[in-house]
Chain A
Amino acid sequence: SQQGEEDPQALSIQEGENATMNCSYKTSINNLQWYRQNSGRGLVHLILIRSNEREKHSGRLRVTLDTSKKSSSLLITASRAADTASYFCATDEGSNYKLTFGKGTLLTVNP
């Protein structure tokens, strides 16, 4: 079963614009991780935010976590064509630290 649900399912923007993707989940978590996937290949780890953290930055990425609303957002600032990819949130919720993924947001950045 998939716990995380990304919103929107697809997003198309122009280069230089900001892109915001949201993720909702259902149960309590240890942490939430965001991944990028290009063309159905491997997942690239972007950022991990722990359940006791509210905001985290990494380069052009900003992630927020609201555990009371069971939601997270990923903001990519000043987007580039190379940011075109699918973005997934994944929650780490259990004792064996498996990741539960949503269906992803397909981001298209037009040059």
Chain B
Amino acid sequence: ETGVTQSPTHLIKTRGQQVTLRCSSQSGHNTVSWYQQALGQGPQFIFQYYREEENGRGNFPPRFSGLQFPNYSSELNVNALELDDSALYLCASSFGGPNTEAFFGQGTRLTVV
């Protein structure tokens, strides 16, 4: 158990819809990162939040957006869902800074039909 919890665990959405995924970070961690993992691939970095500010973004379009709250929990929002958005979405929390471990939640499996 890492102390990082994600909800929901599974979700089915229709193309064009919007989705919000949630993550509660491990106690004391001020940095949350989101990753997308397609089937058979390694996770791909979406973005990172540090103390409620976006602190880096991967190669994902603007319809992927996020928030971090004062308690360091976070949301990932995806608008105008596409079939290729079907993936496992992983949240990781850490203290931030170099040489700190990132601890992952169990992920949300999103299926877009």
Contacts and interface: CB of A to CB of B under 8 A. Distances in A.
B99 A45 contact: no
A64 interface: no
Contact of A96 (B2, B43, B56, B109): B56
B55 A96 contact: yes
Contacts of A30: 98-99
Interface string A92-111: 10111111111110000000
Given A2-B42, A33-B101, A97 B107 contact: no
Interface string B70-83: 00000000000000
Interface string B17-50: 0000000000000010101010111111100101
B86 interface: no
Given A41-B107, A42-B104, A43-B104, A97 B45 contact: no
A88 B106 contact: no
Nearest to A48: B101
Contact of A102 (B42, B50, B59, B100): B42
A97 B40 contact: no
Contacts of A1: 59
A96 B48 contact: yes
Q: Find the residue from A33, A45, A96 having the highest chain B CB count within 10 A.
A: A96
Interface of A: 1-2, 4, 30-31, 33, 35, 40-45, 48, 50, 88, 90, 92, 94-104
